[in-house]
Structures are given as structure tokens and as C-alpha cells.
Amino acid sequence: MKTSRVKGFYKLPLAERRSWLAAELGIEAGELEALLAEGGLDAERATQLVENVVGTYALPFALGLNFVVDGRDRLLPMVVEEPSVVAAASNAAKMVRDGGGFVSTPHPALMIGQIELRGVPDAERAEQCIRAEELRLLDLARAAVPGLVARGGGPRRVEIRRLAREHLVIHLLVDCGHAMGANLVNGASEALAPELARLSGGRVGLRILSNLADERLTTVHCEVPAAALVSGLDIDEGRLLDDIEAASIFAERDPYRAATHNKGIMNGLDSVVIACGNDFRSVEAGAHAYAARAGRYAPLATWRRHGQVLRGELTLPLALGTVGGTLRTHRVAQLALRLADVAGPADLGNLAASAGLASNLAALRALSSEGIQRGHMALHARSVAVAAGAAADEVDWVAAQIAKAGRVELRAAEDALAELRGRPQS
């Protein structure tokens, strides 16, 4: 990727955007056109993914622009239905770009398999027996996933948690390599369960991975110069920096605000996760559980002013994969990984988290200055114009008229469209 800074990209006709992307990827424009036209998944392929298929359901596939992550320009594939998400994230990424872009912090990448043991007669003795046999237990678990072990992954350690007097849960921590790893972790956990029951004297309960993947964290942070932050706004630099910090503190003190703060993060993050063929529901479950890990729901991202710079940081569990699952059959998900030049799960997590932090910044900046509705409704106006029946060459004019009038509603769009069509053709 030469640069993700493509000025005026949103103004280009659809065909020109596709031609640009095809050139960047080094493929024929016709090949990209055919791939995107069907969404990468026809009905026949869909029947291989889920049950009772009657068709497919399309969502917009867009590009997040202006992103620099760990010193490299990156295009971000984003699949989302909500107006303003892609534009807001791209605009925020442009501001962050002026501060050097998004920077990631490496973490270990282990998934957790839980083996529940019920009715354990002597929990203390059971713990001693399991700890004494940890190496043998790990060998048993590795034997259940030989392919993963051959690729350099596999079970790494065993942890014991006591939930009640006769109730233990054993955590099997597994390096899943480039896979998200749900099936691998579940298989290893099931294989280990009988021996754990024998050692503990209890009986096996549930054997399944945890979506609270707090041994597979992703952290990204950024710095935004005040000048970039206020560009295009009629507001004092210091005041905006202070107000965004205050908005972050509001979320840190109030779970009702934190929930909406985190939803803004997931707007961008989920868009990348979905585009790349991963399970956004597991990501959401893990993120929100992690946000409540201290016993009180809190924001995943925080912002602080340091002189004339705003610093933001986001940490959350991200269990993502770049092989297997949907990626075997969904050709646009494969394309998404290619256009983002994804090196592996950790890299994909860094990109998704960067989109999340950018979305959060965009929301806090809007809330702290002109309010969230102005920009959001201006983009929503396009959807309303389409619903009113505007053709492709009419949408922008109709959207601009109803946004300017402050009436972003179907009737107003229909009136504007009638006015437009009543004019003589130039």
C-alpha cells in the first residue's frame, strides 16, 4: 500500500473507486467487479455455512482510509450498515495520522478452554493432584490437536480456579496460531476432561472455550495534535482537548455513559471484524465482559490531554483468526484480508482496534464540539434520499437539501425530489 491517504475518494464514482482498488491490489478491474458484485457469497456457498438457507443478505463493503498502524499505511475493510461510521473513522484516522498514527503493544495470544468439575470431595487435594500432573495433562491435550502442535501452537499451561467448596474450573490455555481456535480449544478441553475428573474425584460439567479471552489482549494507542483535532471547527484548541478528556472521565465514572462510549468503539471495530470473516459476537461478548472485569462496567478506551496533544489508548480481548471458518468459503472476506495486507491474527486485531479507537475519537470530538447529530444526520440524509426514490445522480442533491433544511425525513426527501425533477433539464 503506497498510501491510505486518498483525497476525495468518497467523491469518486463507484467504478473509479473499484478501478483504483484493483490497481492497488494488482488484479484486473473485471475480476474485482465480479467479486464485489455478488458479495463474495452466492446462495450455493451460503448453504455450506449455515442451515435452512434461502438466499444471502448484503451489507455495504467500504474502505477505511487514512490509517497508519505501526508505521505502515493500511487500508481497512469495513462492513457496516450505519451511516457515518466509515466516514467518521477515516476522518479521525487522518487526525491521528498527523500524530504518527496508531501504535500497538504486543501481548501473549492464548485462548482459554474451561473444564468444569462438579462435586469435588476435597478441592485442596484435587488442586495438588492436578498441579503435580500438569506436564502429563498438557501432553494429553496436545495429543488431541496434533495439527495445531505441528504448526507451532498447542496447549501451553493449566490453571485452577475454585468457584465454591466442591466446584472447580480448570483453564487450559492454548496458543491457536493463526486460527481463532474455538473448535481446537473445545476439542482439547473435551479430551482432557476425563483425566481431570479422575484426578479430582469430581464429575465433569461443561467443557468449552471462554469468550473472555483476557490472555489474548490487543492494545493500541495514539497521539493527536491539537491543531489536527480542531481543523474545520470554530473552537478553542485547549477547550476541545479538555472537553474530550472530560468526556472520557464521564465514561470512567458512569456505566450508563460507558456503555454508549464502548458502543462507539465497536462501530468501527466490528466493521473490520465482520469484513474479515470473523465472529463479531464473540468479540462483543469478550469486550463487554472485559469492560466489567473490576465488578463495574467501564470504558475500554480512555483519553487524556498532555499539553497540546490528546492521547488515547484502547485495550480489549480480541480472539480473531485469519485461516479456517468462514474464510474458507467467503471470497470477499478473503479479499478483505488481502487488501488490508493482514499478516496474522495479532495484526488483524491491531487494525480492528485502530478502527475502534478512531471511531471513539470521532464520536467524542463531535459530542464535545458541534454535537453528534449534525454530521450523522447529514450522512443519514443520503439513505433517506434513496428511500424516497432518488436515482444515483439525484441522491447528493436531495440529501443536501433536506440536511440544509434540518428535515431529514422521507416526506421532505420526496418533496425535494419532486422539485428537482420538475426543473428543466440542463
**Catalytic machinery residues:** 82, 263, 279, 376
Q: How many CB atoms lie within 10 A of CB 277?
A: 27
CA 287 – CA 321 distance, rounded (Å)? 16
CA 33 – CA 22 distance, rounded (Å)? 9
Q: In Å, what is the CA distance from 306 to each residue of 69, 309, 311?
A: 21, 5, 7
Residue 156, CA atoms < 13 Å, CB-side half-sphere: 13
Rounded (5°) CA angle 260-58-27? 110
Q: In Å, what is the CA distance from 15 to each residue of 24, 33, 67?
A: 14, 9, 23
Nearest to 336 by CA among 21, 111, 55: 21
Q: Are 64 and 93 in contact (CB under 8 A)?
A: yes
In the numeric block, the cell 428537482 is attached to: 420
Q: Give DSSP secondary structure letters for 210-240.
A: -S--TTSEEEEEEEEEHHHHHTT--S-HHHH
Coil, strand, or helix at residue 314?
Answer: strand
CA 178 – CA 180 distance, rounded (Å)? 7
| Strand ranges (E), 136-292 | 154-164, 167-175, 203-209, 217-225
Strand 103-105 to 309-317 pairing? unpaired
Q: Are 268 and 355 in contact (CB under 8 A)?
A: yes
Nearest to 120 by CA among 157, 155, 160: 160
